[in-house]
Amino acid sequence: MRTMPSSSPGPVTLQKYGAALGRSAPTLWRYRRKGWLRTINIAGRPYVLPADALEFERRAAGGEFAQEPHGAARGTRSHTSSAALTK
């Protein structure tokens, strides 16, 4: 799956790349902070190179960034009624 805008062979703004991915600006910031998505700075704006976009998408498709669910999403708690706990 290629999400880089096909009309631009060079760098694309992080904002446009995020729109192509369907991700919000804070999510992209987290990806950059974790080192998952590499960007370059041109005149104070973050850009994504096509090679870096393809690398990110390849790693994501391979499940490299997958994490175990946290909190209630884990489903490890038993569902016991409060009446059963008092006996």
Alpha-carbon dihedral angle through residues 15, 41, 52, 57, given to the nearest 10 degrees: -30
Q: Shortest CA distance to 50 belongs to which of 82, 15, 17? A: 17
Give the model confidence (pLDDT) of 38-79 as tens digits.
999 999 999 999 999 999 999 999 999 888 887 765 555 555
In which residue are the tokens 């096509």 written? Answer: 50
- Separation CA 48–CA 51 (nearest Å): 8
Tell me the whole-structure pTM to 2 decimals: 0.67
Q: Give dist(CA 56, CA 50) in Å, integer.
A: 10
